[in-house]
Structure 1
Amino acid sequence: MSSIGPYTSIAGFTPSLARALQKSQDSLDDLSMQYASGKISQSYAGLGAGRSTSLAMRAALSSIASYQQTAATVTTRVNLMNASVTRLNDLAGEYATIDSGGFQLTSSGLTVAQSQAETDLTDAIAQLNNQVGGRYLFSGRSTTTKPVLTADQIMADSGSKSGLRTVIDQRKLADVGANGLGRINVSGVTGSTFNVTEQASGPFGFKISSLNSTLSNGVANGPTATPPSVTLGLTGQPTAGGQTKVGVQLPDGSAQTITLTAVAAYSTPPVSGEFLLGATPEDTATNMQTAFGDALGALGVAGNGGIQVSTSDDGLSFKVSEQASGDGGVKLTSANSTLDTGVATGPTAAIPPSITLGLTGQPLAGENVRVGLTLPDGSTEEIKLTAIAATSTSEPQAGEFRIGATQEETAQNMQAAFGASLRKLADTSLVAASAIQAGNEFFDSPAAGQGPGRVGGFDGTYATDADRVAALQNATSLDTSDTTDKTVAWYQGDNSSSDARKTAAATISDGVSVSYGAQANENGLRDVVKSLAVFSSMTFSSSDTNANERYAALTNRISSNLGSAETTKAIQTISADLSTTTTSIKSAGDRATAAKAMAEDTLSDVEDADKTEVAVKLSALQSQLEASYSIVAALKDLSLVNFL
């Protein structure tokens, strides 16, 4: 298309004609620019009424682009997180079906499966230490901190801090005990019976849980136990103002005192622990017992910490007893009274559970007695003793006892068989259960204000190593105070939120946010790391006759833990949460794509020029200008060529 050059003044033109020609020239320039750029104007002013729409649409497009960039970044992170969680879920599935019979040792003292577990532990840790752009994905809010130590750092001691292997070894000493019977004492035979008694071992070792017998002439009594208790009450009507105090230790280790005060009238407002002087000493004792129950409930311990209260026959006193198991409940620590007629005795010493086994006559071949035992990890085992005929030519196998010539001889055989079975169980299943429980205490997040559970006395000062071993073998408590600085912390990330997902969030659309944080110590993820670490920590010797069974006990527990519904659900929940985030991002992305297209269309309507329409206008204006110049030239007797 030919162009017309700028207008120049020619003598004789009237001002109005000059202005008209200049206006046409300006319009020609504007249309030429529209045709070349495809835009109606090079400035917002040139858009007229459309400039506000243009500004709004450009702001919308900028916001959409920002959201899309955020969504792309989060998608990259979440995709990698999902891949890591999937890998750990696969590992859990693999070890949930591990063969407990595959006892094939390598030169390192590990089985082939354990050696593979070492490799898989390193893989699992690497997955949890994944990062994108310097941001760790499984560290909660501490995105610049690598969340999990290396496998070697977890296993080994570091300065004054104990690693997993040391924690497991110490717990093993406490659980198996000095006699190698799992903190159980087996008496000699007296007459035709013997006693099996738990040591006062706190949370360590075997716990007798059941006793069943089919022996036609058998003795099978128990298990019986007497927990610590205090006795509170009166010998007569007390004087107002006197007090009885009971010291207790709550499950979290804190100490509290329950104070019971005799009053002639209740205070306003009521004061906890007050009990009203009744018409008789018996009425007063009843009120005192009620006040104790209310004050105990006010401590806020679930189920009152297992505390049991019973009234004496004379109605003047009541007995307060700890729960029979002795673990995890409220402990009685003291009792005293300033009441002039008060009774406050105890706490009495606990009498550990015990059973009595034996005979009143000769049993029949094939009859048996079964003793149930609970192990530190909560699993259960059973010792089954079966009588075999005196005439049997084969030697008694494990769990069998021969019927002797006399009832007393048979009882001796029964006691020996029980002791042998108990010792073997302690060296196999108990050692495995001990390692599992030590792993729980090492890896699981402790209660607020507490550290990892360690065997009481683990940090004591001893003259010899034998003294240290003896102290651990006779430990009666689990230490959770001041253990954090003495135990390797496998997880280094943020642990401040009860909801790991809320430790990272992003806005992906107007009013739409997603939460996608994660922590390596979450249930499920932690279980995989813990199980692989415990499994690969235990070594074996080919000369150890119990090694095969100990390995089977360990693998069965690892398989059970990783194949449990709890572990599976925990991992799947994390995966589902991340998948929900992905779905939300995709939905927001679809909405953003539609909104972007709409904004671009609206912006195009306002800013873009229709080149066909512009070309028509430009051609018409050129023709008009050419005609105008031709007329002017003719009037001035000038040629168009000269004019241009």
Structure 2
Amino acid sequence: MQVSTLSQSLALRQSINDMRAQFDDLQRQLSTGLKTDSYAKLGTDRNTVLSLSHQLSQLSTYTNTISKTGMRIEVMTDALTRVNSIASETKTTLATSGFELVNGTQTTAQVQAAMQFDEIVNLLNLQVEDRYLFGGKDTQTRPVALPSDILNGTNGKAGLKQFIDERAQADLGLDGRGRLTLGTVGAVTTLAEDADPSVFGFKLASVDSTLSNATVTGPAGTPPALDVEFTGLPAAGQKIDIEFNLPDGTTTTISLKATTSSPAGEGEFTIGADGNATAANFQAALDTAIQEQAQTSLKAASAVEAADNFFDYAAGGAPQRVDGPPFGTATGLIDATEDDTVFWYKGDLSGTAGNNFTAQIDEGRQLNYGARADQAAIRDMLKSSALLSAVEYSDANDAAQESSYKALTGRVSQVLNFKGVQSLESIVTGLGLGASTLAKTQDRHDLVMASANELMGDIQNADPYEVGVKLTTLQTQLQASYQVTAMLSQMSLVNFLR
């Protein structure tokens, strides 16, 4: 029998060490599920794994951005959907409610509008993860002032109610005739604007007359004026229509019909004995009609324009205030300052309102999204609710006040129809398209990540069944090797020399 040499003994020990190292590595594979404990041991697959790991890291960043962006868009969509519902509710209430002053100064529709105005402000001041959503790029400043500050002002700063009051004084004038002057000399009645240039009050637009024996001239001149000269007597039933431009861009018409009745009815003037008497009667009827229109259509238009002056300003601009006092004789507007006026919007004003946020959702692909409180449709809804909340009345039985209320609510309803302009629904639709883009992009990322993880798993992950078989085989080999080693350690040359 061959006696084990030292080299053989050492070789056996090395073999056992190698098997133990393999056994330890197989146990590691079984516990960690990975073939190797370093990329270096992957050989040529190392670059593939590193590339896939980098891709997964990038996709993880994109999916995190998509998740946060999706949450913000969802909150914004829900908020604006509610604002749009408020617009619909307001139109319905205005169409179905009458001129009953439920609290002594306002109608049911106005009281409801005040509550809705408060709700809209709260919605526009929503935060997600300490970020204001409707202030554009300025996410740390509350974008909309408090409802009470907007309506009533604060700390000596004017609010919407003061704007409406000052504008009404400027538009109606000291005598309540809408900044018009009216007089008759002989058979000529003259109607004129009181100043030129001036942005306040009635503006003479045009005149249409079927009066015989009457010469109508103008409107023309500085300030614009029109003359009606009665060269004889008109016939009963003939009329004259005078159209006026109102401060908010709408128009109103005063129509007066000649009659032989005395006294004349509403919208009529009595044909006198001659041209002079007829002119005097015409002036009296026209004066009454002007004052009625001033308290109804002009007053409503003035309130609407005051709200526009308060709410509508862009970057670098400011609310527009009546250049007074005195207000009743003012002719122009001046820029308000933050020292004397509440600026209702405190957010970012740079760029175009809407889509002011940018999210990186894929390599080389960005999503622009968002909505801003000063965006036209949102601002118009806020302005309409504030306007209804701010205007007050004193007598439910006053026909002029009722007519003024109807003129105001008609204008508000028209604004809330959003005809020919961006609507709240279109903003919500835009946000919805952004959410759809996010969802589709996320689905694509999920597929890529699943494929990348599967490929990396094929390269890195150990098969537990295969590892188990190897462990069993190696355990058997180790046990045999240990037995051989034990037997050899007990052998001696003396045993063979006896």
Tell me if TM exceeds 0.5. Answer: yes
Instruction: Name the counterpart of 2:330.
Output: 475
CA distance in 2: counterparts of 1:518 and 1:211, whole angstroms: 45
SS of corresponding position for 2:155: coil
Equivalent of 2:417 in 563, 568, 582: 563
Equivalent of 1:424 in 262, 282, 292: 292
CA distance in 2: counterparts of 1:33 and 1:632, whole angstroms: 26
Equivalent of 2:204 in 200, 203, 208: 208
**1:221-620 equivalence runs, <5 A:** 221-225=217-221, 351-390=222-261, 396-445=264-313, 448=316, 450-458=317-325, 471-480=326-335, 483-502=337-356, 504-542=357-395, 544-567=398-421, 569-620=422-473
Instruction: Name the counterpart of 1:219.
Output: 215
Instruction: Name the counterpart of 1:22.
Output: 17
| Matched-pair contact (CA < 8 Å) for 1:170–1:455 | yes
SS of corresponding position for 1:494: coil
CA distance in 2: counterparts of 1:191 and 1:632, whole angstroms: 143
Q: Deviations over 1:15-36 (max 9, x none)?
A: 1122122222322332233234
SS of corresponding position for 1:14: helix
| Matched-pair contact (CA < 8 Å) for 1:100–1:556 | no
Are positions 1:152 and 2:148 aligned together?
yes
Q: Give 5+ residue unaligned stretches, structure 1.
A: 1-9, 226-350, 459-470, 639-644
CA distance in 1: counterparts of 2:57 and 2:435, whole angstroms: 23
| Matched-pair contact (CA < 8 Å) for 1:193–1:356 | yes
Higher mean Cα deviation, 168-177 or 22-31? 22-31
CA distance in 1: counterparts of 2:173 and 2:122, whole angstroms: 38
In structure 2, relative to structure 1, the CA distance for the partners of 1:192 and 1:422 (3 Å cut) is same
How far has the Cα of 1:611 moved from its partner? 2.0
CA distance in 2: counterparts of 1:637 and 1:451, whole angstroms: 104
How far has the Cα of 1:187 moved from its partner? 0.4
How far has the Cα of 1:492 moved from its partner? 1.1
| Matched-pair contact (CA < 8 Å) for 1:194–1:415 | yes
SS of corresponding position for 1:519: coil
CA distance in 2: counterparts of 1:534 and 1:566, whole angstroms: 22
| Matched-pair contact (CA < 8 Å) for 2:300–2:404 | yes
How far has the Cα of 1:626 moved from its partner? 4.4
CA distance in 2: counterparts of 1:601 and 1:101, whole angstroms: 65
How far has the Cα of 1:442 moved from its partner? 0.8
- Identity, in percent, stands at 37
| Matched-pair contact (CA < 8 Å) for 2:355–2:370 | yes
How far has the Cα of 1:434 moved from its partner? 0.7
Letter in 1 for 2:182: V
Letter in 2 for 1:539: E
TM-score (norm 2): 0.90
Instruction: Name the counterpart of 1:285.
Output: none
CA distance in 1: counterparts of 2:320 and 2:117, whole angstroms: 23
| Matched-pair contact (CA < 8 Å) for 2:353–2:372 | no
CA distance in 2: counterparts of 1:586 and 1:382, whole angstroms: 55
CA distance in 2: counterparts of 1:150 and 1:509, whole angstroms: 39
How far has the Cα of 1:131 moved from its partner? 0.6
How far has the Cα of 1:154 moved from its partner? 0.6
Q: Give the paired residue count.
A: 484
Higher mean Cα deviation, 541-550 or 125-134? 541-550
Are positions 1:184 and 2:180 aligned together?
yes
Letter in 1 for 2:189: F
Q: Deviations over 1:5-60 (max 9, x none)?
A: xxxxx999611122122222322332233234322123334433333333333333
CA distance in 1: counterparts of 2:70 and 2:62, whole angstroms: 12
CA distance in 1: counterparts of 2:23 and 2:341, whole angstroms: 84
Instruction: Name the counterpart of 1:68.
Output: 63
